Each structure stands twice: as structure tokens, then as C-alpha cells.
């Protein structure tokens, strides 16, 4: 999958968005959509009567700006609304052996899928088939399995609430909880950490809280690229007097300075300095950092004693543990000086309304759950839950990943299983199913034989690419409900299906007329999303319609699939009856900006933990061991991608152009390793004595990351992530802390 790359490096930027952001967004729109379609489409992003941006899960403000989208939202929309097409002629011209060596960038750029396609056993090509045949093949293969647990039903986070609800209903009525999802690789650690400590796996702040905070700490997150609209909220908080602290091994542009493209000042001026302090932490040092902050808060008598007494449990043990935390151990783990950490601890001690935000820089680590729980500890100590302008803010990735979980996309049976079973007349299986990593193991071990993907790109997004691809190829059938071509369509089982579907931006007309769907953002707000564009092809079905057709063909339980497919209100009616918090669903989403789901800690300082209190936790202070001559590598996103969808080969804010096979290393480490900027290396990852994993031909970039740390892009670096190297308690692949060795490629 080599690409013709001639990487050029211009060095990191310190300011995000402004005119370059606007022009990059518009250019992407014009390139993919043309002038008329661009103007009409971008105007409807995140509007009350428009569609939810398929980009990130950052919430929309109640009073929306005429341009309530960002550069990367515009790119996400352009990618979906492209005028290019991948139809039967494309597959006639390209065999699977031909497609297998194409890059993800190339595959994605071919355009939108238009027809159901089938690869028959032994064939090296997809051929077009009618929908009935495609659904028939899938249903027949599922029916032929010895047990429903031999099937896997994966979901990616763009799926609407309606489709997600029906999909889990289908899987469970068929007989399995095998519902792995992208969340398993994403914010699972946050969900586990928060459920154990505050009783609910979701963040506790609203957008108004962000605007009202006086200290916002952004840990392990790159909002300038991945949640650009968050910068607008940070800017507003800043103007209201908030201090902002960034904790990150990299000096990410958006965190340092921001030019708001929605204001004249932002477009033409110097922009707003966002972060008052940047702690360039060593990868994996956050657990130690927050334990030390906890220690200082206790020494300085900064605890909110009445909150701790009235609402928490476990304080004594926590206090005893952090009081003994050793300064040298903290310095070694964080790579930071005590003085620098203390300066941030003092902000925690004096601020009255503190929000801590985080994303993948915390969740994709071996001790991710414990690390997030240290943040919870500090916030509990300061009484920062259920208080205006304060709280815990895991910033989700995919635009409806949180909603999918609310709708029961989960390998464990949902809390409302019994209601689900009673409503539809079957018993929900009790045995937990497989999460993403177990799904790969099951295919590898041939205990799973049919893989169905509702969106996403399982082959490329998952760890240990060689193992995962072999596992997928070992399946009897792989089937993907997708908008665009990707690696997962070309790494197939014996039989393979592509089921092309409508995107968020497109009009969805069913028997009872035009339909809308609903989604939930990162702050538990649920609202409607209405596609406005003409569908990319007449051959497309909505996700809801595809699931219903499969349900009808596969199952004979008497679930009214036909009715659901023609009128999504009937789906919402069932959700309202079954899923807590959705009473009056239809009325609440029909013509308003939506509603916010209940969140007991935020709403009333109620904690639905076994003790009825928020829980302080104690975790050992660990540091990742890195042998001599090795670096700690994180895999991250460039400014020009959406997960495995590669928009382009530039990473503007980091000053890297025309290539993605790069590894960013601190200049002092380069000197020590006898390497220099521009060198070509192979990267070998070392784990549990197993040194087989490597990727080749990466260009070294001298970059101001923390000492001992390195960074490369996801998904190119995924072959380095060991399948069994997962976070304790959440099973999330450790994508942010790989021990690696760089091996220079000999010249010539």
C-alpha cells in the first residue's frame, strides 16, 4: 500500500483556524461538491432544520451561528456529499487483487457507493446484485450458523439512534449480544471509569458550563483538529475570565492560539491566546500528575469538605494513598518539574468552577481507567460535580457514538433488557457478547464466521492489522453497510457484501414521506437530523431500511420491521417506551432544538453507585518502562483525516505536507539515537517479548514532542499495536503508548 509521497516539513504552527481554516474547508467543499451543492450543503450543517454534522460529537449552541461548522466539519460533509461515484463499472474495472494494494486515501477518494455488490465464493470481483438477493445472502448465511454467537454485529458511531436501536434489536432477537463497536477503541475507558465512580458513564457538563468555568483543563485532546467548534467555546470561556491549561506531549496549535473564523476579529486579527499553561507531559504520565495534584490539594487544605462528607465514599483511603506519593516518581512518570506541576495544582486549589476535558490521549492507555479516575478524584475533592461551570467532560469522537450506546449498542445486555424482551416477545440473551478485541480473536480462532459492519472500517481502525486482516479473511461472510469504499471492503471473507446506504446529508423518503433521524451529542443533548441533499444514487437504502429488510428476512418473531422501515416515528415510539429518559420522544425532537437526557450527578448530585455516593478510588502509581534506545510512540490523527478516511496528505498545523508515513521525534532524542530529520526508518514495536510487528519506510521529523516520546499517524501505524495490549478494565487497545525502536534504512 505504498503511496507516492514526497514529504515536506515546515514546522508546527501555533495558531488554529482563521482564514486558512475557512479556505481549506471551502476548497474541500468545492473540490468534492461543486459551487451550488457546496453553498446549499454547508448552510444546513448543524441547523435546527438541517442535518447534524457527521464530524465530531461536540454540541451545538442553542443560538446557532450562520456558519455553525468548522473546516473539518466542512471536509466531513464534502467527503459524503461528493459527486464522484463507485458503481458497478468501477468494480468491473477493479478486481479485489487490484484494490488490495490501494491506499486508504485512494479508496476513499473514488466516491460514493451506489449499488449493492456481492463477491461470491472463489470470485476475485464484486458484482452488482438486486437488494433482495443481497439481503437474502446475508440472511441465509446467518441462518446457517450453528449458533447466533458465531455472528458479529459491529457498529461505528455515525449511526442514528433509530438505526442503532433496530440493529441491537435485530442482533438480540436473532440471539446474540455480539455488538462490538468503535466505542470499544475510543471512550470505553471513560465509560468504565465514570460508571464505577459517579454511576453514569457520560460527562457531567453542558455547553453553558464550559462558558461559565473559571478553569478548563484540556488533557490528551487535540480540539483544533478533532473538535474545532470546541475552540469557540474555549474562546468564550476565556473572554469570561477562564484560565485554560493544556496537558499534552505535543504543543497542539489549536490549544495555544485560536482565530475564530466566525468573527471578523478572528479572521483578521492575531486571534486569542487560549492556553495559559501548557504542560508538555511524557506519554502516560497523567495518572502520576493527577495523584500529585491530589496530594497538594490535601496539603493546602483545598478540599470541599462538605461535598466530600455528604456525597462521597473512600476519601480516607484516597487521602492516605496520595499523601505518600513520591515527588521523584511523579517527575519520572511525567517528565515535568514539581514547580511546573505545582503551578497547575495551585490553579486547581483556587478556581471555583473547574472543568476537565479529555479524549484519546487518556483513554487509549494500559492504565486509562485508573488515570481517568484520578481526574474524578481531584474533581470530587474540589466538589466540582453537579455545580454550574464545573464537571467532567470526556469529549466524544463520532457524532453519535454516545447515542448508539444509549440505544443499546453494547456487548453487555442493556439495563432495560427485560422491557425490550417483553415489548417484542423474546428473551434477550444474558451472556455478554464480544467487544472489538474479542471479536478479532473470535474470527482469528474461527469461533465467529459472519461479520456485519454498520458503518466504520473495521479492517483499518482496529489494532494489529496483520492479525485482524487474516481474521477477516478467515470469515465465511463479511458484510458492510457503508457510504464509501474503504479497506474493509477489500479484505473479505469467502463471500462478501457491500450494502450502500444514505449519509446524514441526504433526503430520506420512505412510505410515509420524508423521515428524520435523531442523535445524541457529547453532552447528552438529543436532537433531530434531516438530510437535505438528493441521495447519491437511486440504489441506496437508509440504514433503517436495510436493517428492517434483514430483520424481516431473517427472523420470524413478529417484530413489525415493515412498519418501522416506512415510518421512523414508530421506532421512536418503541424507544420512548423502553429506554429511560425518552418519554415523549417524538414531541421533544419534532420541532424544537431537542432535549437533554437526565444525568443524576449533574442534575442533583445523585450517584447511582451501589453506595449511593460518588467513589474515590486508589490506584498504584505506575510508569511505563522504556528500555534504553527505545521511544514511547503514540498514534494520532492528522488535520486532514477523519479516522480512517484520509481527506488529504497534509497536516497543516503540524507543518507536515504531502505524506503520512512520518514519525515525530524530539530533536534531543534524535541526537541520542544517532538519527536526523529526514532519515528513513522502519518502526518496530516491542511488547511481551514479541518483536515481530513493524512498519517500514517512515520519514523522521524532528519535532518538539516531550522527551522520550514519538508520534505517528493512525491507521498507518496500526500494525504496531498488539492485539492483546489493552486497557485494564475497558479492553481498549493501547494505541497511545507503544514501546518502539527506530531502525535506520540503509541508504540506497
Ligand X SMILES: Nc1nc2c(c(=O)[nH]1)N[C@H]1C(S)=C(S)[C@@H](COP(=O)(O)OP(=O)(O)OC[C@H]3O[C@@H](n4cnc5c(=O)[nH]c(N)nc54)[C@H](O)[C@@H]3O)O[C@H]1N2
Residues in CB range of 620: below 8 A, 6 or more apart: none
CA 612 to chain centre: 30
CB of 437 to ligand X, least distance (A): 11
Return the number of the residue (60 or 304) whose C-beta is nearest ligand X. 60
Q: Which does 635 bind (CB under 5 to 8 A by kind): ligand X, Mo ion, none?
A: ligand X
Residue 85: CB atoms within 10 Å: 15
Q: Does 280 bind ligand X (CB under 6 A)?
A: no
Q: Does 384 bind ligand X (CB under 6 A)?
A: no
Distance CA 397, CA 187 (A): 8
Candidate residues 117, 205, 230, 360; the one interacting with ligand X per rule CB under 6 A? 360
Return the number of the residue (55 or 294) whose C-beta is nearest ligand X. 55
First to last CA, the chain: 21
Distance CA 1, CA 34 (A): 30
**Contact pattern from residue 7 through residue 26 relative to ligand X, giving x for each residue in contact according to CB under 6 A and a dash for the rest:** --------------------
Candidate residues 186, 571, 656, 695; the one interacting with Mo ion per rule CB under 5 A? 186
Inter-residue contact 635 to 735 (CB < 8 Å): yes
- Count interface residues toward ligand X (CB under 6 A): 61
CB of 154 to ligand X, least distance (A): 7
What is the number of the residue whose Cβ is closest to Mo ion? Answer: 397
Instruction: Select from 7-15, 166-174, 209-217, 475-483 the region that touches ligand X (CB under 6 A).
Output: 475-483
497-536 residues near ligand X, rule: CB under 6 A? 501, 503-504
Query: Which run of H or E residues covers position 465?
Result: helix 465-473
Q: Which does 158 bind (CB under 5 to 8 A by kind): ligand X, Mo ion, none?
A: ligand X
CB of 280 to Mo ion, least distance (A): 24
**Contact pattern from residue 540 through residue 579 relative to ligand X, giving x for each residue in contact according to CB under 6 A and a dash for the rest:** ---x------------------------------------
Distance CA 582, CA 598 (A): 10
Smallest CA-to-CA distance from 374 within 331, 327, 326, 321 is with 321
52-71 residues near ligand X, rule: CB under 6 A? 55-56
Candidate residues 456, 659, 708, 719; the one interacting with ligand X per rule CB under 6 A? 456
415-454 residues near ligand X, rule: CB under 6 A? 454
Return the number of the residue (76 or 354) whose C-beta is nearest Mo ion. 76
Residue 311: CB atoms within 10 Å: 20
Return the number of the residue (114 or 726) whose C-beta is nearest Mo ion. 726
CB of 361 to Mo ion, least distance (A): 12
Return the number of the residue (307 or 647) whose C-beta is nearest ligand X. 647
Residue 730: CB atoms within 10 Å: 22
Strand partners, 218: 246, 357
Residues in the chain, total: 748
Instruction: Select from 165-173, 297-305, 333-341, 396-404 the region that touches Mo ion (CB under 5 A).
Output: 396-404
CA 22 to chain centre: 24
Inter-residue contact 17 to 225 (CB < 8 Å): no
Candidate residues 114, 168, 176, 248; the one interacting with ligand X per rule CB under 6 A? 248
Inter-residue contact 271 to 258 (CB < 8 Å): yes
Q: Which does 399 bind (CB under 5 to 8 A by kind): Mo ion, ligand X, none?
A: none
CB of 186 to Mo ion, least distance (A): 3
Q: Does 220 bind Mo ion (CB under 5 A)?
A: no
Distance CA 356, CA 497 (A): 43
CB of 632 to ligand X, least distance (A): 8
Pairing of strands 509-510, 513-514: antiparallel
Candidate residues 179, 233, 375, 461; the one interacting with ligand X per rule CB under 6 A? 461
DSSP state of 150: G
Candidate residues 190, 313, 702, 718; the one interacting with ligand X per rule CB under 6 A? 718
**CA angle (520 as vertex; 517, 526 as ends), nearest 5:** 75
611-670 residues near ligand X, rule: CB under 6 A? 634-637, 641-645
Per the structure block, which three cell numbers stand in for 394? Answer: 470526556
Residue 97: CB atoms within 10 Å: 10
E-assigned strand segments in 571-675: 595-596, 614-615, 631-636, 641-642, 645-646, 656-657, 662-665
Residue 63: CB atoms within 10 Å: 7
Return the number of the residue (138 or 392) whose C-beta is nearest Mo ion. 392
CB of 398 to Mo ion, least distance (A): 6
Distance CA 467, CA 719 (A): 9
Candidate residues 281, 357, 490, 550; the one interacting with ligand X per rule CB under 6 A? 281
**Within 13 Å of residue 478, how many CA atoms lie on the same side as its CB?**
25
Q: Does 457 bind ligand X (CB under 6 A)?
A: yes
How would you label 580-604 residue by residue, b for 16+ Cβ within 10 Å and e otherwise? ebbeebeebbeeeebbbbebebbee
Residues that bind ligand X (CB under 6 A): 55-56, 72, 156-158, 182, 185-186, 219-222, 225-227, 247-250, 252, 281, 283-284, 286, 359-361, 364, 397-398, 454-458, 461, 481-484, 486, 501, 503-504, 543, 634-637, 641-645, 714, 717-718, 721, 735-736
Residues that bind Mo ion (CB under 5 A): 186, 397
Amino acid at each position: 500500500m505504498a503511496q507516492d509521497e514526497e514529504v515536506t516539513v515546515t514546522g508546527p504552527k501555533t495558531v488554529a483556524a482563521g482564514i486558512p481554516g475557512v479556505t481549506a474547508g471551502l476548497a474541500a467543499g468545492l473540490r468534492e461538491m461543486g459551487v451550488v451543492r457546496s453553498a446549499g450543503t454547508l448552510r444546513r450543517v448543524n441547523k435546527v432544520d438541517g442535518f447534524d454534522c457527521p464530524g465530531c460529537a461536540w454540541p451545538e449552541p442553542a443560538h446557532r451561528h450562520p456558519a455553525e461548522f468548522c473546516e473539518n466539519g466542512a471536509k466531513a460533509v464534502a467527503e459524503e456529499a461528493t459527486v464522484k461515484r463507485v458503481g458497478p463499472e468501477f468494480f468491473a474495472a477493479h478486481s479485489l487483487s487490484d484494490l488490495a494494494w490501494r491506499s486508504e486515501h485512494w479508496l476513499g477518494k473514488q466516491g460514493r457507493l451506489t449499488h449493492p455488490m456481492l463477491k461470491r465464493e472463489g470470485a476475485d470481483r464484486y458484482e452488482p446484485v438486486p437488494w433482495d438477493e443481497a439481503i437474502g445472502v446475508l440472511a441465509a448465511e446467518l441462518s446457517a450458523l450453528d449458533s447466533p454467537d458465531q455472528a458479529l454485529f459491529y457498529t461505528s458511531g455515525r449511526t442514528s439512534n433509530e438505526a442503532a436501536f433496530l440493529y441491537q434489536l435485530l442482533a438480540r432477537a436473532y440471539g446474540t449480544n455480539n455488538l462490538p463497536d468503535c466505542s470499544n477503541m475510543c471512550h470505553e475507558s471513560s465509560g468504565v471509569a465514570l460508571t464505577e465512580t459517579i454511576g453514569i458513564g457520560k460527562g457531567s457538563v453542558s455547553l453553558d458550563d464550559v462558558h461559565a468555568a473559571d478553569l478548563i483543563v484540556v488533557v490528551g485532546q487535540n480540539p483544533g483538529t478533532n473538535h474545532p467548534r470546541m475552540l469557540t467555546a474555549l474562546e468564550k470561556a476565556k473572554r469570561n475570565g477562564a484560565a485554560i491549561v493544556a496537558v499534552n506531549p505535543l504543543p497542539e496549535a489549536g490549544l495555544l492560539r485560536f482565530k475564530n473564523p466566525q468573527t471578523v476579529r478572528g479572521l483578521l486579527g492575531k486571534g486569542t491566546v487560549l492556553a495559559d499553561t501548557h504542560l508538555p507531559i511524557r506519554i502516560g504520565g497523567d495518572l502520576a500528575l493527577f495523584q500529585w495534584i491530589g496530594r497538594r490539594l490535601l496539603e493546602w487544605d483545598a478540599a470541599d469538605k462538605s461535598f466530600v462528607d455528604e456525597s462521597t465514599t473512600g476519601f480516607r483511603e484516597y487521602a492516605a494513598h496520595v499523601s505518600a506519593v513520591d515527588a521523584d516518581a511523579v517527575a519520572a512518570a511525567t517528565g515535568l518539574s514539581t514547580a511546573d506541576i505545582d503551578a497547575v495544582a495551585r490553579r486547581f486549589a483556587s478556581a471555583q468552577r473547574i472543568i476537565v476535558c479529555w479524549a484519546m490521549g487518556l483513554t487509549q492507555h494500559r492504565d486509562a481507567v485508573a488515570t481517568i479516575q484520578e481526574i474524578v478524584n481531584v474533581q470530587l475533592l474540589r466538589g466540582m460535580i453537579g455545580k454550574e461551570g464545573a464537571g467532567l467532560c470526556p469529549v466524544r469522537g463520532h457524532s453519535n457514538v454516545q447515542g448508539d450506546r444509549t440505544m443499546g449498542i453494547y456487548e453487555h445486555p442493556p439495563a432495560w433488557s427485560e422491557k425490550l424482551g417483553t415489548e417484542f416477545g423474546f428473551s434477550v440473551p444474558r451472556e455478554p457478547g464480544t467487544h472489538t478485541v474479542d471479536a478479532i480473536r473470535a474470527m482469528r480462532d474461527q469461533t465467529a464466521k459472519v461479520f456485519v459492519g454498520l458503518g466504520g472500517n473495521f479492517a483499518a481502525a482496529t489494532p494489529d492489522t496483520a492479525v485482524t486482516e487474516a481474521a477477516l479473511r478467515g470469515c465465511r461472510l463479511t458484510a458492510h453497510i457503508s457510504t464509501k469504499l474503504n479497506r474493509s471492503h477489500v479484505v473479505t471473507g469467502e463471500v462478501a457484501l457491500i450494502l450502500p446506504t444514505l449519509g446524514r446529508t441526504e433526503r430520506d423518503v420512505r412510505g410515509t414521506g420524508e423521515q428524520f433521524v435523531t442523535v445524541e451529542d457529547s453532552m447528552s443533548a438529543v436532537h433531530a437530523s434531516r438530510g437535505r441533499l438528493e441521495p447519491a444514487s437511486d440504489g441506496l437504502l437508509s440504514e433503517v431500511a436495510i436493517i428492517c429488510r434483514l430483520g424481516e428476512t431473517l427472523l420470524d418473531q413478529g417484530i413489525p420491521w415493515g412498519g418501522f422501515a416506512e415510518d421512523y416515528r414508530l421506532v421512536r415510539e418503541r424507544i420512548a417506551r423502553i429506554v429511560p429518559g425518552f418519554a415523549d420522544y417524538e414531541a421533544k425532537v419534532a420541532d424544537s432544538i431537542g432535549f437533554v437526557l437526565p444525568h443524576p450527578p449533574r442534575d442533583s448530585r445523585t450517584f447511582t453507585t451501589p453506595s449511593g455516593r460518588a467513589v474515590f478510588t486508589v490506584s498504584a502509581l505506575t510508569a511505563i518502562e522504556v528500555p534504553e534506545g527505545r521511544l514511547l510512540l503514540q498514534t494520532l490523527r492528522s488535520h486532514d483525516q477523519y479516522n480512517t478516511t484520509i481527506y488529504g496528505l497534509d497536516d497543516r498545523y503540524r507543518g507536515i505536507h504531502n505524506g503520512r508515513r512520518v514519525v515525530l521525534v524530539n530533536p534531543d532524542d534524535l541526537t541520542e539515537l544517532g538519527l536526523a530529520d529526514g532519515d528513513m526508518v522502519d518502526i518496530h514495536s516491542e511488547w511481551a517479548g514479541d518483536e515481530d510487528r513493524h512498519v517500514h519506510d517512515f520519514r523522521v521529523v524532528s519535532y518538539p514532542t516531550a522527551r522520550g516520546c514519538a508520534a505517528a499517524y493512525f491507521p498507518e501505524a496500526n500494525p504496531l499495536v498488539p492485539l492483546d495490549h489493552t486497557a485494564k478494565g475497558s479492553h481498549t487497545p493501547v494505541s497511545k503508548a507503544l514501546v518502539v525502536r527506530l531502525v535506520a534504512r540503509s541508504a540506497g
